[in-house]
Amino acid sequence: MELVCAVQQYAWGVHGMASSVAQLAKGGQPTLSVADDKPYAELWMGTHPSGPSFIKGTKETLADFIKGHPEVLGSTITKQFDQQLPFLFKVLSVNQALSIQAHPNKSHAEELHHERPDVYKDPNHKPEMTIALTPFQALCGFRPAEEIIKFLGEVPELRRVVGEENATNFCNKSCEQSLRACFASMMRASKETISAALVDAVTRFTQMGQSRQELFDLFLTLHSKYPGDVGCFSIFLLNYIVLQPGESMFLGPNIIHAYLLGDCIECMACSDNVVRAGLTPKYQDVDTLVSMLQYDMAPAESRKFKGSSKDACTTLYNPPVPDFAVEMIEVPESKNEYQIDAVDSASILLVVQGTAEGVGAPKSSGSSDSLALQRGTVVFIPAGQSLKLTKAGDALLAFRALCIN
């Protein structure tokens, strides 16, 4: 069944038809009106109540359809998640930095939801997978100790906001406890300290001109979007990563991260739980973030998550959680047909590039469902259902979210 999916217009999104989200949404909904002056940040595919998908041609939500036909989920899902689709599938078009954030584990999410349901609106955890569609810039995890020590020496304004005692202690000990003290002190620094340090850093980096290093350019870009925000200094403590198309990251609970620029596919547990602190006008919960983070230090490359080859056309990204996995399906121009195999799990397929006819397995009557697939088509595939693709010329790129035993 083809789906009509929700678009989220967060301020950090790419504007108008320059946004991949807008392009894909309009591909699936040709009558959709796209405004040049509005941001189109996320396309949501799934059953989350904040952005539910609908069965195309009806007013029925996918959630209601599943409720009435729970067998479409398959036993892989129903054994662990009852009659709920456990994942939320997304496309993101990022024009400026999202907040510095992390996601709680399941028990912590339940606790936060119980204590502050107005802020933390559901009790679920939110592990997530990011797969780049374009070169995708992000911050993820804390840098190796030697890199942080280097910046504490090169950037006196950073040393000022973390505190001289904390900086010296970290340079001497380089342990997780001393890193936590530096990060906590930075995030809790007074407005006066932050403001003065930012002014000095902006002035100094600007005067360097073309000789300044890439990270200083990033600092100036972040400050232009979020003036006065201490989160600008986080780039010296966190790994800066550029994922190339097809490269991915898996973000488990309590891993600090921020997306900066580019387009990606994202899949996560069906939750919207985010603990934020920095690079955002939204509610910031600094104390919770500081207390929950993992403070292990590792190189940027180690934060990437490698997929495995399922066959000549499909790469499987299977993270260490039961809630979801993602397949990247690349059918070359030279290959006319490809079959998406049946699995014991409901799945959602998004076509990102190319056109094809998709034909389901024959029904008991002998007939088969057929769908015209193009850029932006989103299809819900029930458990046990295969989909044969007959391609029309150009290469086809699609992604499928599913659950795996």
CB 156 within 8 A of CB 193: no
Q: What pLDDT is attached to residue 363?
A: 59
Residue with tokens 């991949």: 20
Q: Do domains 3-140+241-277 and 308-402 have the same CATH topology?
A: yes
Distance in angstroms (rounded) separating the CA atoms of residues 149 and 168: 9
User: Which one-letter DSSP state was computed for residue 2?
Assistant: B
CB 356 within 8 A of CB 349: no
CB 298 within 8 A of CB 363: no
Beta strand 39-40 with 14-15: parallel, antiparallel or unpaired? antiparallel
| DSSP annotation string for 11-25 | TTBEEGGGSHHHHHH
Rounded to two decimals, the pTM is 0.94
Q: What pLDDT is attached to residue 280?
A: 86
Q: What pLDDT is attached to residue 362?
A: 66
Task: Choose the CATH number for 145-236 among 1.10.441.10, 1.10.260.40, 3.30.360.10, 3.40.50.970.
Answer: 1.10.441.10
CB 91 within 8 A of CB 258: no
Distance in angstroms (rounded) separating the CA atoms of residues 234 and 139: 9
Distance in angstroms (rounded) separating the CA atoms of residues 352 and 233: 35
Distance in angstroms (rounded) separating the CA atoms of residues 137 and 263: 9
The catalytic site residues sit at 276
pLDDT tens, N- to C-terminus, the chain (405 residues): 999 999 999 999 999 999 999 999 999 999 999 999 999 999 999 999 999 999 999 989 999 999 999 999 999 999 999 899 999 999 999 999 999 999 998 899 899 988 998 888 888 888 999 999 999 999 999 999 999 999 999 999 999 999 999 999 999 999 999 999 999 999 999 999 999 999 999 999 999 988 888 999 999 999 999 999 999 999 999 999 999 999 999 999 999 999 999 999 999 998 878 899 988 888 889 999 999 999 999 999 999 999 999 999 999 999 999 999 999 999 999 999 999 999 999 999 999 999 999 998 765 555 567 899 999 999 999 999 999 999 988 999 999 999 997
Q: Which amino acid is at 191?
A: K
User: Which one-letter DSSP state was computed for residue 152?
Assistant: H
Task: Pick left, alpha or beta for residue 64 (phi over 0 → left; psi -120 to 50 → alpha; otherwise beta).
Answer: alpha
Distances (CA, A) of 167 to 11, 150, 173, 174: 35, 11, 10, 10
Distance in angstroms (rounded) separating the CA atoms of residues 110 and 275: 13
The three-state secondary structure class of 355 is coil
Q: What pLDDT is attached to residue 226?
A: 94
| DSSP annotation string for 137-159 | EEEEEEPPHHHHHHHHHH-HHHH
Identify the CATH number of the domain defined by range 3-140+241-277: 2.60.120.10
**Spans of all domains in the chain:** 3-140+241-277, 145-236, 308-402
Q: Which residues pair with 304 in a beta bridge?
A: 249
CB 292 within 8 A of CB 102: yes
Q: What pLDDT is attached to residue 135?
A: 98
- Is the CATH code 2.60.120.10 the one for domain 308-402? yes
Residue with tokens 């380089």: 174
φ, ψ for residue 312, nearest 5 deg: -65, -20
Distances (CA, A) of 216 to 7, 130, 144, 186, 340: 34, 25, 19, 18, 46
CB 343 within 8 A of CB 77: no
Strands in 232-324 per DSSP E: 238-243, 248-251, 257-269, 275-276, 304-305, 308-309, 314-317
CB 120 within 8 A of CB 113: yes
Q: What pLDDT is attached to residue 368?
A: 62
Q: Which amino acid is at 343?
A: V
